[in-house]
Structure formats: structure tokens, C-alpha cells
Structure 1
Amino acid sequence: MLSDESLRRDGLSRPPAAGGPATAPHARPVWPLALTAALVAALIAVPAFAGSPHWLGRLSQVVTGSPLRPEHAVVLALALALVARGALLRRRAAWYGLVTLALLGLLAVVSGDDPPWRLPLLAAALGGLWLERGRFPVRPHPERVRTAVKTGALLLAATTLLSLVLGGVSVRSVGDVASGLGATGAPMDGASWLPGVLGLAGAAGLLVLVITLLAPDPAPPPGDEAERARVASLVLHPGSDTLAPFALRRDKAYVFSADGRAAIGYRVLFGMAVAGGDPVGDPASHADAVRAFLAMCRTTGWRPAVLGASGALLPAWGPCRSIGFGDEVVIRPAEFTLSGRKMRNVRQAVKRTENFGVSSEILPERELTPALRDKLLDVASHSLGGAAERGFSMNLDELLTGYHPGAIVAIAYGDDKEPIAFQRYVTAGEGISLDAMRRDPGGPNGVNERLIVEMVDYAAERGHGVVSLNFAAFRELLDSDERGLLEKAGYRALHLLDPWIAVESLYLFDKKFRPSYKPRSVVFRSWFDIAWLAAALLTLEFGRTRPAQRAAGPVTEPVHHLGRS
């Protein structure tokens, strides 16, 4: 029997008990509760605004009971606004916060500080919150709770020490410190500034505690070697997508379908859980893997997103939104030919390398000798100008380190028999995908075209149905002859930024091969996530990957990775 913790880690949940409600509590909308909390926060903030109508002030006291000082009203309103947002995101800590406010109100009524007519109102609110507790499945992560406890303890110690050491007053007890934070704001003897400082510290501490407890879970550690070996076996499934091999990056964590026959590799950044491409493994289990991924995001508070989803699987993401942002460039070896006028540029490029005495070979990465591997890494370093390897959705890591021994390397040699360029490919279901394309800047032009042509021939000989090349971002914009005002501005921006992002130049390079295009989309939960989504995607695609290291052993045995003999 799986434990609750293991189910949580795998993004699953236990089925409802027999006779239970047909609709899970977390499936019911929470916006009415969030809206109510936001309205209450707005009413609490009323005393902070001078010249508010008298009737609005009386309405404010319906929720506060007693009049509040303006500074206290601002702090409580901000805290409750954060709680309202947390309620919208189904955070259990937000539910705790609302219950705590209701209990404090009841305590104030019982103690005589608030009018007794508020008792039935608060009791009804408390009862309603208790009945709706199932709508808030996102529990605070233990690390967040520990941080909040430490922050609270540090704040209490700091304010106490401040009043004892710096206040210049005779403080007989911690109760005297608390009196300095009272609603009257009366100055303590000998330190008129102390109540204000303590109040400011208390306000900041309260907001920090609320933000900490409402934060999503921290990013998980990458998958361990056992999980990665499972994923490596799923990558080999004939139904896996051409982006499937990139799930084996060492910085990705994994969530598996209930039957274990499909998995999604993802990374968490800025609260966004970003999956790279479609699930890997059996297509019959892809939808279940998507459900497991979304369930995991619900229980951790992460915002789900996908970079590079195929159109065929978009319906599986349900109410999530999607934006097409480009196309994967694919060549079908059975249909590829160098004949014809349209392929003249490619033929000339290949012929040019032959005239320069360039030779080539294709071999498994596991067969590279240490000396050759070092020379190829030098080529990679020169090709990037010393910059770090980057990428996420269509890039693998551990370039030529031996960690991914199922990779195939196409190498070009100059007339002196020294390597001048190489390309690394990885198998994906019935196809192979380009991972890295590196060329020494001093080498002759045309070597990349030649290596691609030879890899297409290699794939055709071994029965691979597809060779996936690069990604053509914003292809329709770049390929359009008629552009409106916004399209012209977008095209101009891509053209100016091309020296750094190489979107246009890469598209023009791929276009020479007359390829097919497979649309890819970004999937995300809500338009409210768009800023965090953009920050996460840009960081993932253009941030540094982990440094290359010699691997102690392969991800999995490379059986069936290369040939189909």
C-alpha cells in the first residue's frame, strides 16, 4: 500500500471512499471565498483613508468590531489581501488565517471588547469555513513552516532586545513591551520612538509570516538515478515524442502516471512547474501522466506550465490555456533527397566541404576515445566563444561526458584529420533528435549541412522515421510576406536581437532543408501567471546548465538506442 507521502511525491491522490461525494471538494470553485476575504480587507483599510464617508466607517466596524488606528488598518488589510489571494490559490494556510481571524473576533466578543451582535456573524463565518476546509488542499510545506517559526522567534527576540537595550527605559516584563504595541500608541517612558519602531517591526514580521506560509513548496531535488533509469526506458517506447530524450536532463524531477508507463520531466522555477514537451512513454498513459502532474501542482501550490507541448495532447491539459510559439523542424528520411533546384544550396554546401578535404564519421558517443572527446569539447568551447551550454526543452546536458551513452555523434574532420565540427543526436521513439550542433569558427562553411545530410542517410538506413532538427520560434512571423504594424515591430525586434538569440538565422538555416514543421505550444494555467511564466521560461532556456562532468556510469544500457538490427 502506498503511503500518503509517496502518493504526494508522485503527484497522486487516494480515490474517494465509497459513498463519498461525486465531486471532490478541491474541484469546487473558491473564488467566492477569496472575493469575500478581499472585500473584508478593503473594509478594514477604510480607517487609513482620511475623509471616508461616515456610512463606510460604520460598515468597516461591522468587520473590525472596534475602531482601528490607520496604521493598524493598513497592515491588517494587506495581510488579509494576501490571505485572499492564497484562498484563490487554495492554500491551506489561507484557510488557517481566515479561521484565526474569526476565532480572534469571537474572543474579542466574549471578552467584551466587541459588540455582542457580532457573535452570530462570526460563528456563521467560522462554521462555513469549517465546512469548506476541503477546498484548500495546498498545505504549507514543512520547510515553509520552519522558516515562519524561525522568523517569528527572531522577530520576538529582536523586539524584546531592542526594548531592553536600546529603549533606555525600565522594562519590568515582556508584557511592558507588548503594551508599547497597543492600540493607543502611547509612548513608553524615556523612548517616544520605541512604540513606532516596535509597531513597524511587528507589521513587517506579520507580512513576512503570511507571505512565507502562503508560498508554494520549494523546488524539489532532481530525480535520482533510479527514477532516471525508469524514464530512460520510457524514452525508448515507440510512441514517445521527439522531445522525449530531453527529459533525461539531470536537473529535472519526475512525476509518473498511475501505471508507471508514462512520465513527465519538469523543473520548478519562480513557483512555476515547467514540463519540457509531452509525457514520455506509452501514449495510452500520457493523459494520466498529465492528470498526475496537475494533481501534484495542486498539492504543492506550483503553477503548471509546459514548454513545447504538441497539438495532439493539448486537449489532455483541460482548462489550461495555450499559445503557439513556433514549430519543431523535422525531416523524414524516406522523403528526403538532395535532387531538385530547391536543394541546390544544400548540395553546394556539401560539395564545398568535399573540395576542402573534409571527411566525416558517425559513431556512438560511448565509443569516443578520451583524446577525441577532449578535442570535441574544445570544438564546442570555441563554437560558443567560451559561453556556457544553455537550453531546456530541446537540449540535453552532459555534453560528451559519457552520461548519455546512447547518443550518436556525427563528426567532421579537416584535411589535417583534426575534428572541426560535430553534432550530437539522441534517439526518441521511432526518430532521432538533434541535441547539439557545434562548429569551429575557423572551419569551412557547409560542414553543418553535410553532417545533417549524412545523419539523415544514417537514419534512413536504420529505419528511423523522423530526424528532428532545431526549433523554429515564431516561424509564421518570420515566414510571412504580409505583416501588420505589430507583426512588423515583432519581426524587427527578432532581427535586431538575432546576434544574441539566433532565432532568425537558425530558421533560415533550417529552411534550406525543406523540412516539415510540427507546431509546439506553451501551456499555462491562467493569464495571471504570464509574468512568472515568461521569467521562468527565459531563465530555463537562456540560463546556464549544470557544468559538464565525467559520469561514473550511464543512465541506462544503450541497448536498442542506436540500431534496429
Structure 2
Amino acid sequence: MSVKQGELLPKCRGSAQAAREKRRWIPRVAALLTLAIGLLDMASAVTPGWRSRLDDLRALLPMAVSRQASAFTVVVGMLLVLLSAGLRRRKRRAWRATVVLLAVSVVLHVLKGLDYEEATGSAALLAALVVTRGEFRAKGDPTTRWRAIGVGSFLAVVSIVVGLVLLRLRHDRIVGPHPLSAQLEQVVLGMVGIQGPLTFASARFADLVFRILLTMGVLTIVSTGYLALRPPEPRPMLTEEDVARVRALLARRGADDSLGYFVLRSDKSVVWSPSGKACVAYRVVSGVMLASGDPLGDREAWPGALTEFLREAADHAWVPAVIGCSEAGGLAWTRVGLSVLEIGDEAILDTAAFSLEGRSMRNVRQAVARVERAGYTAVVQRVSELTPQDLALLRNQVARWRGSETERGFSMALGRIGDPADGNCVVVTAYSAGAPPPDREAPGTAAPQDAALPPEEAKPDETAEPRPRAVLHFVPWGRDGLSLDVMTRDRTADNGVNEFLIVQAVRQAQQLGVRRISLNFAVFRSAIERGERLGAGPMIRWWRGLLIFLSRWFQIDSLYRFNAKFSPTWSPRYVCYPNTVDLPRIALAMLEAEAFLVWPRWREHLPLPRRHRGRRCEG
């Protein structure tokens, strides 16, 4: 399904918004030109100038001024390269700093060698930025002190590269052998004001090298220190007031959307409608303001919440996007100007109509019977019914089963389990009697005779204490539904234990007052299903083949097959986006938010919210 953006564009956005969309190229071109001017500044400072111009300049100013101007020009170029990214995102702070640096660049080009060509380029870009200043209105992003490490590392690397290039271009001014290691030592020491191992034939060139390296070193140290010492501005998360207001909304009318309870995930933020009767949950990932699910609250208040969401995105130049909204949510987003694409389907069970009878349920019926014969039992409980000791044991058990696996989830995961505040959540635990796990047996101990038998023929030890083997965790869905959050199990548990737990949850639905259960989300389910049909066209067959190929790394086909066993009702889910050109960036942000794209391990130590293992994790 695709809804054209222009068809439902509301009048409230008006011609000003349309004109702004047409001028999106201006920040991009400005950023590209700023990057080019920055690189040109650095190149012009380390390359020889015109001798005739230098003679004219020497008659007016001491050469020390020219050499220091060259050093400052390198610094200005480095800063312009850094600021180009902020200009592309329409940041007001970046615009102000760029305007000042371009003005300084014009003066420096004149002082360092009467370089009128470079000065004209900087002046022209300066004039263009002043004329288009209205395009750069975005607020700065919240930051942490860890940004100092990134900026400092970048400046240090660029300084070293520039220093090596300078020595390479003027290698004829170096006396004696000068291997790369000696040049690198000269650059690093020069950045902190220490004379290096190289000897230069010209005192003027030696002074130029010293000034450039020392100036770049001072810039690196001062910039890193400033960013490290300034007060951090962390991204906002759910405050206690937000949590209380969200829980009040859930208590007053429940949630029409099965993902409504996941608004309480701790690494999300919320924006509220002016009336306070609706909110949108989101997280900023790589410059994308990514909302999840439908807005929470009264539908008549949705437009106000959506408008506030888009305003916040525009204020910071974030790309607004939505992942996993329902059809009702998708229609609401189209009315504020976003386009919609179907991304998959959610499997929903009607507990009253569910039955294991019939050929279509044969696989589930056999799996459940096999697990029951193996001696498994299930316990269905609300979290509020568990003792603190039981909750601690539950959390530890799930963490042990998860091991070193990546914690996934954003749009369809709560990110925690066994929290007393989530008393209405439901835990379904599978227990089995038998010998302790293999890793608890003493070395050299012979395995029991029954261990050689298949699971359906093994004889459970009735005298052994039952031990947990698998857990399902559900969050409330309105007043009469449950939405699957976590599905995890012991790797040594019998196959079919997940099917067994789902069936047990359905069997206990009446006692829990539940008539609908939301299971896994199947990505591009309709494409896989249509590609299997007789007479499917070549494009849909190619698309299905690509999805099957990607299933080697992502649970696409396996989750669809697992869901389809239960003959569920399929409810489509959508992605909302502002422009087609933004889709690749939004797709990467979605993969990062759901932890399918994971940063290196060192990133886990940064003061950022940890990725949480999500629902739909086992198939």
C-alpha cells in the first residue's frame, strides 16, 4: 500500500512548507561547497605561494605574519570541514560558525600570500550563506562528553595527515635522510611544541612547519578540552512525569494498538498534544526521529500530537519517520503529509475461536503433544502475582538463556522483564522434570540411559525438581488483550516448547480475561505468501527470492512460517516517511534501532541507552 504525499497534504502546512521542500537542495549544496573550501584552505596553506606576491607582501608585513596566517588557514580549513555536516542538516550554530570562519578565511588568504583566488571563493560562499540564512534554522542536537573523543580523534588524524603532506611537498627542504617514521615523529612532537628529529635547510620553512604543527595541536587540545568540560546535553528520555501520564492514558482507555504499552520503553521519549490527551513515542537514531506504533491516547487528539512531533523534527532538522503503525495510524500520518508503505503483518489470535483441530493445525498439535509427553508443564501468572524472589529468578534465568546474544527491539519490545511496575504483564513459564543440564554434570559421569532416546520417548524423572525451560512475556493490550514481548528458552529444551507455551496461554485466556493475543511480527509476509502462489509474476518471485536470501541473516521467512502455524488473523503494519529519497536513511536507522545493525562492543560502554532484547526473538 502506498499513499501519495500530495493528495492529503493539509492546508496548515501551506505554501511556505511546500517552498521549503523545494529548497532542500540549498543546505546540501552549501555543505558541499563548505567542504570544498575547507579542503582548499588546507591545501593552499601547505603548498608554495607565488614568489612575486610574497615579495610584494614582504614589503608590507613581516614574513612571520604570513607564516602564522598560513598556520591559521589550515585550522580554519579543518573547522570548515567539520562544520559542513552541520550545514547539511540546517543547523543554526553551524551556519553562524561557518560565516565567521569564512570571513576570517578571506583575511587569512590575503595575509598569507595575497591569494586573491582563494579569498574570492571564500567571500562568494560567505555572501551566499548570508543570502540563504533563512534555510538554516535547526536547533543543535543534544550531546554528551563522548563527542569530545570523536572530534579530538578527527582533528588529531587530520593534523597528522596535513603535517605529513606538508613535509612530503617540501621534502627538498629537509636535510639528510627522512624516513616516514622520522616524519611522523616530527609531526607528533611539533603538535605539542617540541622540536622533532628532522633538520631543515631553510629557517623560514622550519618556522612555517613549527607554526602550522603547533597551531593544529593547540586546536586539537583546546577543542577536545572544551567539548569534554562543557555541560552535557543528553537526549531526553521518559521522565517520571511522562511515565505517570502514559500509565494514566493506558489505565483510562487502554490501548487500541497492540504496541501501545511499549511506549513505556525506557529509551524512548514522548511528545504530547497541546491538550495532553495523546502522545507520540520516539527515539532519535542517526538523525532520524523514529516514532513507533500508533499515537497513544484519544484519536481526536492525535492531530495535535502529530503536529508537535513534526515541529520537533523540523526544529532539529531530524528526518521524521514511523515504524510499525497500524492502518488507523497510517491514515493519521498521511493527513499531516507523510507517505506510507506496508512493511509486514502482525499475527493475532482470537482466543475464543482458536482450536487445535483440523489439518491446518496439525504441526502445532503434534508439537504440543510431543512436549506434553516429555513431561513439560506450564504456569501462567501475572507479574503482580510473583514474589520479589520469583522476579529476580525470572530476570536471571532470561539473562542466562540470552547469553551474549544481541539485545534487540525498539518498536515491539519493552526492554525489561519482571519489573514490579508492570504488574499486569503476563509470564508463561515452561517447566520440565529430569536430570540437571549437561553443564552441571560432573566430568566423566555417564549419561542416563534415557538420554539416548528421542525427546518424545525419553522418560522424565518424576522425582527431580522441575526446572524452567522457556518463558513467554506478554504486555497488556488494552483491557482484553496481550501482546508478545519476549520469547526465549533454554537451548537444550525440546523442540516445540514455544508452540506449547503459546497454546497454554490461549487455554488460560478466559481466566485472564483475554480474548486476543498478538504474536510475532512477520516482515514482508504478503510478499512471501504471494510469491509462493501459482501464477506469481517474475517480479514478485524475484522479491520473494531476495527475502529468502536475506533470511540467512534476518528472521524473515522463519518468523512467517512460525506464525502461520497458528492460522492467525494478519494485521498489516506500515512505515511512514516524508520523501522517497529519505527511505535509505530511514531503513538504516530502523535497523540500528532494532539492533540488527550493531556498533562495535566498545560502544556498549558509552552513556547511551542499551539495546534491549525484543519480542519476536525465537522462532
With the shorter chain as reference, the TM-score category is 0.5 to 0.7
Between the aligned partners of 1:224 and 1:426, the Cα distance in structure 2 is 21
* Aligned-pair CA distance for 1:268: 2.9
Q: Deviations over 1:96-122 (max 9, x none)?
A: 1454367558979999x899xx99x97
Identity, in percent, stands at: 30
Q: 2:297 aligns with which of 281, 286, 300?
A: 281
Give secondary structure in 2 for the equivalent of 1:476: helix
Picking from 538, 541, 557, the partner of 2:592 is 538
CA distance, structure 1, for counterparts of residue 548 and residue 141 of structure 2: 46
How far apart in 2 are the matches of 1:219 and 1:307?
24
Using a 3 Å threshold, how does the CA distance of structure 1 residues 457 and 283 change in structure 2: closer, same or farther? farther
Decide which of 497, 520, 525 is 1:475's aligned counterpart.
Answer: 525
Q: How far did 1:95 drift?
A: 2.8
1:234 aligns with 2:290: no
Amino acid at match of 2:347: V
Query: Which AA in structure 1 matches 2:278?
Result: A
Alpha-carbon distance between aligned partners in 2 of 1:547 and 1:135, rounded to the nearest angstrom: 33
Against the structure 1 CA distance between its residues 140 and 100, is the aligned structure 2 distance closer, same or farther, given a 3 Å change threshold? Answer: farther
> Could you report, residue by residue, the CA deviation over 1:53-98 in whole angstroms, capped at 9, with x for unpaired residues?
xxxxxxxxxxxxxxxx999999878866765664442210243145
Q: 1:473·1:503 contact (CA, 8 Å) conserved in 2?
A: yes
Residues 271 and 219 of structure 1: CA distance in aligned 2, closer, same or farther (over 3 Å):
farther
Superposition deviation, residue 302 in structure 1: 3.3
CA RMSD of aligned residues (A): 5.2
Pairing 1:417-436 to 2, within 5 Å after superposition: 417-430=466-479, 431-436=481-486
Counterpart of 2:358?
340
Task: Confirm whether residue 310 of structure 1 aligns to residue 326 of structure 2.
Answer: yes
Matched with 2:502 is 452
Contact 1:167 1:191 in 2 (8 A): no
Specify the SS of the correspondent of 2:238: coil
Q: Distance in 2 between matches of 1:80 and 1:386?
A: 42
- CA positional deviation for 1:32: 3.8
2:239 pairs, out of 220, 224, 229, with 224
Distance in 2 separating the partners of 1:437 and 1:340: 26
Q: What residue is the counterpart of 1:12 in the other structure?
A: none
Aligned in 2, Cα 1:465/1:129: closer, same or farther, shift over 3 Å?
A: farther
Tell me what 1:556 maps to: none
Code of the residue aligned with 1:100 in structure 2: it is: V
Kept in 2, the 8 Å contact 1:421–1:440? The answer is yes
Q: Deviations over 1:460-512 (max 9, x none)?
A: 56654531101112323443225657436524423433xxx443333222111
Contact 1:432-1:466 at 8 Å conserved across structures: yes
Hey, what does 1:506 align to over in structure 2? 559
Report the more deviating stretch, 362-371 or 26-35: 26-35
**Worse-superposed segment, 421-430 or 438-447:** 438-447
Between 1:270-279 and 1:27-36, the stretch displaced more is 27-36
Shift, 1:232, TM fit: 2.2
Q: Could you tell me which residue of structure 2 aligns to residue 166 of structure 1?
A: 195
Residue ranges of structure 2 left out of the alignment (5+ in a row): 1-11, 45-68, 160-186, 434-461, 599-603, 613-619
Change in 2 beyond 3 A, CA 1:222/1:26:
farther
- Higher mean alpha-carbon deviation, 381-390 vs 501-510, is at 381-390
The C-alpha deviation readout for 1:239-297, integer Å capped at 9, x for no partner, is 43101111212222222222212222233333333323222222222332222222222
In the alignment, structure 1 segments of 5+ residues that lack a partner are: 1-15, 50-68, 169-185, 549-565
In the alignment, what sits opposite 1:138? Answer: 139
Cα deviation, residue 330, structure 1: 1.3
Matched residue of 2:291: which SS?
A: strand
Residues 192 and 217, structure 2, Cα contact 8 Å, conserved in 1: no
Q: What's the CA shift for 1:445?
A: 3.9
Within 5 Å, which residues of 2 pair with 1:5-404?
A: 23=16, 27=20, 29=23, 31-32=25-26, 34-35=28-29, 38=32, 86-97=86-97, 99-100=99-100, 103-104=103-104, 129=130, 132-133=133-134, 136-139=137-140, 162=191, 165-166=194-195, 188=204, 190-191=206-207, 193-198=209-214, 220-236=235-251, 237-315=253-331, 316=333, 318-320=336-338, 322-373=340-391, 376-377=394-395, 379-381=397-399, 383-385=401-403, 387=405, 389-404=407-422
Amino acid at match of 2:269: A
User: Matches of 2:32 and 2:491 in 1, distance apart?
Assistant: 59
How far is 1:425 from its partner?
Answer: 1.0
Q: Letter of the 2:353 partner, please give it.
A: E
Find the counterpart in structure 2 of residue 515 from structure 1: 568
User: Helix, strand or coil: the match of 1:541?
Assistant: coil
Checking the alignment, whether the CA contact within 8 Å between 2:190 and 2:213 is kept in structure 1 is no
Question: Residue 319 of structure 1: CA displacement?
Answer: 4.5
Give the Å deviation of 1:427: 0.8
TM-score by length of 2: 0.62
> How far is the alpha carbon of 1:396 from its aligned partner?
1.6
* Alpha-carbon separation, structure 2, partners of 1:539 and 1:37: 27
Alignment-derived partner of residue 439 in structure 1:
489
Task: Check conservation: 1:272, 1:533, Cα contact below 8 A.
Answer: no
Aligned length: 484
Task: Give the residue type in structure 1 aligned to 2:561.
Answer: L
| Aligned mates of 2:562, 2:507 — CA distance in 1 | 19
Q: 2:368, 2:496 within 8 Å by CA — same for their partners in 1?
A: yes
